[in-house]
């Protein structure tokens, strides 16, 4: 998968999780939503790790410290476009 | 506290500049019903909200609004790249340009700079949650109005995503209002203010 497709998968999982998070705020005992939240947390974690391994960190903790602080490498999110 | 995630909530990939449209869309950054005001409204209100579930809701929606601030800023940024001076002048972007060049600055479509008078943090649960319900609808109407002027599918797609989020937030705030009301005297919700009267 290329960078854009991998990012879209991450945005998709994060969207499921955002929706579930807000729903669970007002329905904290919903078993079905809790199970879905747990499932997508696992899928998100795997997708984040795969993305960071190929294209650099999304969160600071994924930064490579071997020789260069790749957190600062572009493009930044608002530039991720047709350039 | 907050941590940055180096990604947008939803993709913004705009090929063609359109400074005229950027001047309308910037209102959802710094305008009366924009995302910056939304985020500050909820994040300020949450401290005195009595119910833990509603504290969570205000925190989480207030945080999502910050991601929307970033999406709107990305749209404005991408719509104002690679412009000629002639395009800047013809589109009416010249007034903004003399003040900010092509930097992103929070103003309304009408040019007024962002102000905290766009929102309330009133310290009364019913008052604040009803304000939030209205705020989500006002933002939805603004997105509907933006969509009347936006032909470019690269712009319409993220704007439609943001419009849909207003409707989801309205739903969740309605549930928050119900949760708060269920904890109050059902004969008269206004007998006490749960954020002050004990």
Pairwise CB contact (< 8 Å): B57 & A22: yes
Check residue B186 and report its DSSP letter. Answer: T
- A29 interface with B at CB cutoff 8 Å: no
Q: Could you tell me if A41 lies within 8 Å of chain B, comparing CB atoms?
A: no
Q: Is A73 part of a structural domain of the chain?
A: no
Confirm whether A74 is domain-assigned: no
Name residue, tokens 């910050």. Answer: B66
Is residue A82 domain-resident?
A: no
The number of residues making up chain B comes to 198
Asked whether the CA dihedral A83, B83, B143, A75 is positive or negative, the reply is positive
- How many whole angstroms separate alpha carbon B148 and alpha carbon B128? 30
What six digits make up the tokens of A8?
């879209």
pLDDT of residue B186: 85
Residue A16 within any structural domain of the chain: yes
List chain B pLDDT tens, one digit each, 198 residues: 999 999 999 999 999 999 999 999 999 999 999 999 999 999 999 999 999 999 999 999 999 999 999 999 999 999 999 999 999 999 999 999 999 999 999 999 999 999 999 999 999 999 999 999 999 999 999 999 999 999 999 999 999 999 999 999 999 999 999 999 999 988 898 988 999 997
The range of the structural domain enclosing residue A38 comes to 3-54
B174 contacts on A by Cβ (under 8 Å)? none
Q: Is A33 inside a domain boundary?
A: yes
- What is the number of residues in chain A? 83
What is the 3-class SS of B23-51, one letter each residue?
HHHCHHHHCCCCHHHHHHHHHHHHHHCCC
Number of domains in chain A: 1
Instruction: Identify the pLDDT of residue B137.
Output: 98
Residue with tokens 């329905």: A27
**pLDDT, tens digit (0-9, with 9 covering 90-100), for A14-26:** 999 999 999 999 9
Question: Which chain B residue is nearest to residue A7, measuring alpha carbons?
Answer: B7
Q: Is the pLDDT of residue A49 over 70?
A: yes
d(CA A71, CA B135): 36
Q: What angle do CA B183, B193, B197 make, to 5 degrees?
A: 100
Would A65 be classed as within a structural domain?
A: no
- Is there a domain that residue A69 lies in? no
Count the alpha carbons within 13 Å of B59 in the hemisphere toward its beta carbon: 14
Q: What DSSP character marks residue B117?
A: G
Q: Where are the beta strands (DSSP E) in B53-111?
A: none
pTM, two decimal places: 0.97
B167 and chain A in contact, CB less than 8 A: no
Does residue A13 lie within any of the structural domains?
yes
The radius of gyration of chain A from alpha carbons, rounded to an integer in Å, stands at: 15
């Amino acid at each position: 998968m290329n960078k854009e497709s991998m990012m879209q998968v991450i945005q998709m999982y994060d969207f499921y999780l955002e929706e579930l998070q807000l729903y669970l705020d007002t329905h904290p005992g919903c078993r079905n939503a809790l199970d879905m939240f747990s499932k997508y947390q696992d899928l998100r974690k795997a997708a984040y790790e795969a993305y960071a391994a190929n294209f650099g960190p999304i969160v600071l903790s994924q930064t490579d410290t071997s020789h260069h602080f790749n957190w600062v490498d572009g493009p930044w999110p608002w530039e991720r476009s047709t350039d | 506290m907050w941590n940055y995630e180096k990604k947008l909530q939803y993709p913004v990939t705009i090929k063609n500049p359109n400074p005229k449209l950027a001047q309308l869309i910037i209102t959802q950054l710094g305008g009366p019903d924009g995302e910056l005001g939304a985020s500050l409204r909820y994040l300020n209100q949450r401290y005195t909200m009595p119910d833990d579930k509603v504290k969570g809701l205000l925190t989480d929606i207030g945080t999502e609004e910050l991601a929307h601030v970033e999406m709107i800023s990305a749209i404005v940024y991408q719509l104002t790249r690679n412009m000629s001076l002639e395009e800047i002048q013809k589109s009416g972007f010249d007034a903004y340009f003399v003040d900010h060049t092509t930097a992103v600055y929070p103003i309304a479509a009408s040019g007024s700079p962002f102000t905290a008078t766009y929102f309330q943090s009133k310290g009364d649960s019913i008052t604040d949650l009803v304000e939030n319900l209205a705020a989500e609808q006002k933002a939805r109407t603004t997105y509907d109005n933006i969509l009347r002027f936006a032909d470019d599918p690269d712009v319409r797609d993220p704007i439609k995503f943001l419009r849909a989020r207003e409707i989801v937030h309205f739903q969740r705030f309605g549930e928050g209002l119900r949760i708060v009301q269920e904890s109050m005297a059902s004969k008269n919700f206004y007998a006490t203010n749960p954020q002050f009267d004990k």
